[in-house]
Amino acid sequence: MAKTGTRMSITSVLGWVEEQLERRRSRRALLEMSDDQLKDIGISRGDAYREASRPMWL
């Protein structure tokens, strides 16, 4: 049983890390968008910089 619990725990941690990395990629992608693209999604350039500078776990 402990082995299964450990595997689930490792899987959970790896899943969390993947989610955080994806969040980081998404936030950095905002910086590559044009001002018009940001405007289309309702985000200012300043918002994009603030979002991209946040730690990936927030």
Domain boundaries, the chain: 28-58
For residue 42 the two structure tokens come to 């309702």
How much is the pLDDT for 42?
A: 97
For residue 41 the two structure tokens come to 């999604």
Name the average pLDDT for the chain: 89
pLDDT over threshold 90, residue 2: no
Mean pLDDT for the stretch of residues 10-37: 94
pLDDT over threshold 90, residue 32: yes
Cβ atoms 19, 4 nearer than 8 A: no
Q: Secondary structure of the chain in the HEC alphabet? A: CHHHHHHHHHHHHHHHHHHHHHHHHHHHHHHHCCHHHHHHCCCCHHHHHHHHHCCCCC
Q: What percent of the chain has pLDDT over 90?
A: 74
How much is the pLDDT for 1?
A: 47
